[in-house]
Amino acid sequence: MAEEFTADRQEAAKVSRDLKAIRAALDGGKTGALDAKTGSEKVDDAVRRFFEESSDNRERMDQLLERAAGLLDALVDGTGTLDGSLADSLSTSSSTGSGSS
């Protein structure tokens, strides 16, 4: 049954790093289209307006990326701690049992 509860810690750590990189690239939605320079003032104004009006979605995306990365980091840390504790427990039991003969 234990094989049903596996996690690839290295892959989870990689995905977490990727999510953090995406979040950093988005810069919390603070930059981007605000400095639009298309060569047309009318288009630049439309892009800026669209960018300003969609700020709620960018902020929500930033929060979701931060949360997902945090959950993956907790998974990596938690499974590492659990694996270490189980290994210590088993090795302690084995060494204690071998010295009592």
pTM of the model: 0.62
- Close Cβ partners of 48 (under 8 Å, ≥ 6 residues apart): 33, 34, 36
* Two tokens, residue 94: 């084995």
- pLDDT tens for the 101 residues of the chain, in order: 455 667 788 999 999 999 998 888 777 555 555 666 677 888 878 877 887 777 777 788 889 999 999 999 999 998 888 888 888 888 765 555 555 54
Cβ contact 62:29 at 8 Å: yes
- Residue length of the chain: 101
Per-residue pLDDT, 1: 44
Q: How wide is the angle at C-alpha 16 spanned by C-alphas 12 and 20, nearest 5°? A: 170
75-89 residues labelled b (16+ CB within 10 A) or e (exposed): bbeebeeeeeeeeee
